[in-house]
């Protein structure tokens, strides 16, 4: 992976991380189109720049993350992240295999798109309009939905947790924001695990040039994600999720066509 390729992938990640369209799927689709092969470093790169993008949430919502007077906020995140930690540990082999199957990812993209077409009609009577009203059991249920995005690459962590939130009576805005908050501990854990795996089995990729590539990609993903978060919150409050459903269906179909033609 060269610098230009890292910037392209980082832009894709930053634009899609907080949208319910699966940033992982977009990166997996983009890689073969720009000549990036699957390697241990590329796998780690994708996880780490996801963390960089997600840290933009800490910047935007810094008052929430640095408000140590309300410890319940942090407890809810811990409760919600537990299912993903357990699922990721026990299902690692399945996850690794699924991440290399572009057909599977494309089908999941389409299936998730169909769900998003109807989510606004399915969950109309939302009553939880602030994070403070989210109970610990509801936080745990949302965390369980996040597991679906881990075992079904292409579903989208954002989409899964937003659907989970709305199923627990959260408004669109609060469901999206809690999804953002939950992404921080989730991706911290995923990035640490990815780095340790590379350090243990592929130390040869931890060289200066790769760290420069990784650093540039992380910065680009962070900056682009700052803009994407603000756009997404404003859009879904006014228009809902249907457009993202149609986008997922079209993109999944296009990818299946490209695979059938041997383009990727």
Q: Which residue has the higher pLDDT, 200 or 41?
A: 41
Measured distance CA(131)–CA(243) in Å, rounded = 26
pLDDT score at 59: 92
Domain segments of the chain as ranges: 3-261
Are 172 and 165 in contact, with CB atoms under 8 Å apart?
no
Q: What share of the chain is helix, strand, coil (3-state, %, to 5)?
A: 80, 0, 20
- What pLDDT band is residue 13 in, cutting at 50, 70 and 90? very high
The tens digit of pLDDT for each residue in 18-77 reads: 889 999 899 999 999 999 988 888 888 998 898 899 899 899 999 888 888 889 999 999
Closest CA to 165 of 153, 179, 155, 151: 179
Q: CB count, 10 Å around CB of 188?
A: 14
pLDDT score at 212: 92
């Amino acid at each position: 992976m060269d610098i230009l390729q890292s910037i392209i992938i980082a832009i894709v990640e930053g634009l899609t991380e907080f949208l319910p369209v699966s940033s992982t799927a977009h990166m997996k689709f983009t890689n073969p189109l720009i000549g990036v092969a699957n390697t241990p470093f590329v796998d780690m790169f994708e996880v780490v720049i996801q963390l960089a993008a997600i840290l933009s949430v800490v910047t935007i919502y810094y008052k929430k993350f640095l408000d140590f007077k309300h410890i319940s906020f942090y407890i809810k995140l811990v409760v919600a992240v537990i299912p993903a930690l357990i699922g990721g540990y026990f299902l690692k082999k399945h996850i690794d295999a699924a991440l290399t199957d572009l057909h599977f990812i494309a089908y999941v993209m389409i299936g998730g798109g169909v769900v998003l077409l109807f989510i606004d009609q399915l969950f109309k009577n939302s009553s939880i309009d602030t994070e403070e009203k989210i109970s610990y059991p509801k936080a745990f249920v949302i965390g369980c939905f996040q597991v679906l995005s881990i075992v079904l690459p292409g579903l989208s962590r954002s989409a899964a947790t937003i659907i989970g939130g709305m199923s627990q009576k959260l408004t669109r805005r609060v469901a999206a924001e809690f999804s953002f908050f939950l992404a921080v501990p989730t991706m911290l854990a995923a990035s640490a695990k990815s780095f340790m795996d590379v350090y243990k089995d592929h130390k040869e990729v931890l060289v200066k040039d790769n760290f420069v590539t990784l650093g540039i990609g992380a910065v680009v993903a962070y900056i682009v994600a700052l803009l994407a978060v603000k756009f997404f919150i404003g859009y879904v409050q006014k228009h809902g999720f249907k457009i993202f459903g149609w986008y997922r269906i079209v993109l999944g179909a296009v990818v299946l066509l490209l695979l059938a033609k041997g383009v990727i």
